[in-house]
Amino acid sequence: MPRNRLSINKIVWNVVQTSADLTEILIYDEIADKQSYDWWTDERGTEVTPRAFREELGKVTTSQVCIRINSGGGDVFAAEAIRTAIMEKRQESKQITCKIDGFCGSAAVGIAAACESIAISASSYLMIHDPSVFAFGYLNIQDFERGLEMLQKIKQGIVNAYAKKTGKDKQEISEHMTKETWFTGDEAVENGYCDELMFEGIEEAAASVQNVVNSGEFEISMYRNIPKSLLNRHNAREKGGFTNTTKTQKESAKSMPDISTVDQLKREFPDLVNQIEKEAKAAERKRIQDIEEVMIPGFENVANEAKFEKPAEASEVAMKIIAEQKKQGSNYLNNREKDVKNSGIDGVEVEGHEGGEGKAGSNPFDAAIDKLFPASK
């Protein structure tokens, strides 16, 4: 079976036609420009990509589409491409709405905002924050200034999209993003990010609460202001799954244990620790792979030191190899020059021949020919 079909079978977001009029598209994973690839397991990732999303949206024949989201976001440009695909279909009179089933954060919020209306449950979360960029390698002042300018422009685009959806002041939205603001379902509706509250007036279904943190694939270690009530749900498990009791921030703060050791953290938040360990192992495998790719025969000592003794990134290893190559080349030229001087070849004189033309520096081959075949007998 071709590899590309393996990844299709593993994808965690899908398209389901629930009726003659409605099709649901589930975004339950990270949003990325392309699927990742694990060379250790020969498997492709399950990220939601704009190419796949556009292809699936183009196949929909029903008049109504519901985008269901349980995602922490991802690549801002990939999310913008998905936003564009949704807006284009809406221009073609396709009715596209959104339901937030658990968590809608970061770039996923922009996708939700592209829909005609957004519904959220009271126990779900919506989070907005400033865009960020991963810096790798050696950077100078100009590089940081260009990066800052890029991030400011990206943020302005996001603020514009949120302002259009909520009707709120752009400065207020910008401040909420800088603070990394988490909204409960009620707060998201109150602040205009969502249009209606699901299950309003009735008891919340336990499954709705479970969806908030039921996926271990969410990358939450990057967030700074995760609500303690959400962390509490990670820890407070009942026989049927996560607790369906929603606590206030004050109550949650009281129930949060004091953690001062790694063992305590593992006991209190086993899922979170397992996720962090999993991601750390994946990052380490990727670092080793990158070093292997830049390693050149003859420099195994440099690669091994970077792998195990003094951990370094592949870019640093490449720079060390180049420096070693330069050093070796310089040493070779210096040693060759010393060998020439030490040989005394500069003081060698050519022995003269008959006729008095054998002066130092004359061509010995010409002298030998003249001796064998003189010009006159």
| 3-state SS assignment for residue 69 | strand
> Which pLDDT score is estimated for 205?
45
Distance separating alpha carbons of residues 280 and 215, to the nearest angstrom: 18
d(CA 369, CA 377): 14
Bridge partner residues of 128 (DSSP): 181
Are 163 and 170 a contacting pair, CB within 8 Å? yes
pLDDT at position 281, please?
83
Nearest CA among 204, 108, 210 for reference residue 158: 108
* Opening angle at CA 168, ends 188 and 218, nearest 5: 40
- Provide the sign of the torsion angle of the four alpha carbons 227, 229, 235, 239, taken in this order: negative
Contact 211, 101 (CB under 8 A): yes
From CA 152, how far away is CA 139, in angstroms rounded?
19
**Which domains occur in the chain, in start order?**
3-129+180-219 (3.90.226.10), 284-343 (no CATH), 351-377 (no CATH)
Query: In Å, what is the CA distance from 21 to each residue of 16, 56, 63, 82, 161?
Result: 12, 16, 6, 22, 29
| Contact predicate 291/306, CB 8 Å | yes
| Residue given tokens 């949704």 in the structure block | 86
The reported pLDDT for the residue numbered 371 is 60
40, 141, 278, 304, 307 from 314: Cα distances, Å: 18, 22, 21, 12, 9
Predicted local confidence at residue 315, as pLDDT? 76
Give the integer Cα–Cα distance in Å for 35 and 24. Answer: 22
Query: Residue 306 has which token pair?
Result: 């970077």
Per-residue tokens: 174: 């910008």
Residue-level pLDDT at 282: 83
Q: What's phi and psi for 206, nearest 5 deg?
A: -60, -35
Q: What is the DSSP letter of 257?
A: P
Is this prediction's pTM over 0.85?
no
- Work out the end-to-end distance of the chain between its first and last CA atoms, rounded to an integer number of angstroms: 91
Distances (CA, A) of 118 to 101, 115, 188, 224, 308: 11, 7, 10, 26, 50
Residue 151 near residue 232, CB atoms below 8 Å:
no
Q: How many CA atoms lie within 13 A of 78 on its CB side?
A: 19
Look at residue 242 in the predicted model and tell me its pLDDT: 34
**pLDDT number for residue 364:** 61
Chunked mean pLDDT (size 10), the chain, 377 residues: 38 68 91 85 85 91 93 90 94 94 91 94 91 77 85 89 91 91 92 89 46 46 60 46 38 57 78 81 82 80 82 78 74 65 58 48 60 58
- The label of the residue with tokens 């779900």 reads 124
Is the CB of residue 237 less than 8 Å from the CB of residue 214? no
Largest Cα span, the chain:
130
